[in-house]
Amino acid sequence: MIAIYHGQYASRYQDLLQAEGIEGVKMLDETVTADELHRVTGLLGWKVPQSVLAAMPNLRWVQSLGAGVDWLNGMALPPYTTLTRVVDLFGTDMAEYALLASLMWVKNVQRWQRAQVSHRWDPFVVGSLSTQRVGVVGAGSIGREIARAFLPWAQEVRALGRTLPQIEGVQGFDAETTMEFFKGLNIVIVVLPLTPETTNFVGRGRLEQMALGSLLINVGRGPVVDLDAVVDALKSGRLDQAVLDVFPTEPLPSSSYLWDVPGLVISPHVSGPSRPERVVKLVARNIQRFQAGQPLEGVVNWQRGY
Ligand code: OXD
């Protein structure tokens, strides 16, 4: 049996899957019985609690209903369970977000807004992306799309991957040349998944390599960026602005000091929306493949963690 666990979105998925010809997906709500949980072999889920996973000993496949699978970090799944994630769907939105954040910074839109509030005509020379060196940290399908989106605009575009990224027109860097990658960059866009290796990947040493007065954008996962180091870099002027869409704790508590840090721009994890309408076709294909015993799309490599 295929089941779904995704809070308020579960029934929307059920309807959309039905429209794709897929019936009988069981919603895991408080009425589900232990017997039904025993019969679950495939689970569509997002932030499923360990207690729910542990009640499904016959699970063979988990489809994460987003790009990330870090919500499963540290959780035990039955042996031989295949994990899949949503791939190739969020690159365009996230590239738009990164371009928007970069243009707002380079054109200093905040200064226009401040001037308008006080009815002040405040002309100044605005910058241009054409003089900016841009680097994308993470070269999966999303990172590659972001890097390509900057190519017509930026002076130079770099991409950093575990292995050397090959993207036409983009300078590739790998684990061995990480420091060179960061050197002199004006804009860094972080799109790394969260794994033990990527935690605090963007820390003091790497930020120090960036150009003075630069911009950091994080659309990957909160803990990939060392927030204390970012706040210090904003204070010292190494960073002029940091635009953060993701945080170690979400929602960001209203009591967090981060809301008031000068130079920090906060958005509520909106850069790559995983709306059911957009994800459902991939999920439907994977259900059909799972039921037919065929290879699934977006299989996660457990060793790499994405
Ligand atoms: C995702 C996300 O992983 O929304 O899909 O961050």
| Bigger pLDDT: 215 vs 304 | 215
What confidence score (pLDDT) does residue 78 get? 84
Residue range 241-262: mean pLDDT, rounded: 98
Backbone phi, psi, residue 184, to 5°: 75, 5
Strand partners for 239: 214
Closest CA to 198 of 18, 70, 15, 55: 70
Closest CA to 202 of 176, 181, 235, 229: 229
Query: Strand pairing of 214-218 and 239-244?
Result: parallel
What confidence score (pLDDT) does residue 79 get? 81
What confidence score (pLDDT) does residue 133 get? 98
Cis peptide before 223 (omega within 30 of 0): no
Cβ of 223 below 6 Å from ligand 1: no
pLDDT tops 90 at residue 276: yes
CA of residue 185 to ligand 1 center, whole Å: 26
Task: Write the pLDDT tens digit of every residue in 52-69.
Answer: 999 999 999 999 999 999
Cβ of 274 below 6 Å from ligand 1: yes
Cβ of 67 below 6 Å from ligand 1: yes
Cβ of 45 below 6 Å from ligand 1: no
User: pTM to 2 decimals?
Assistant: 0.95
CA of residue 221 to ligand 1 center, whole Å: 9
CB 45 within 8 A of CB 37: no
Cβ of 220 below 6 Å from ligand 1: no
Cβ of 165 below 6 Å from ligand 1: no
CA of residue 271 to ligand 1 center, whole Å: 9
Confidence of residue 266 (pLDDT cuts 50, 70, 90): very high
Alpha-carbon span 149 to 191, nearest angstrom: 14
CA angle 108, 266, 110 (to 5 degrees): 20
Percent of the chain with pLDDT over 70: 100
What confidence score (pLDDT) does residue 67 get? 95
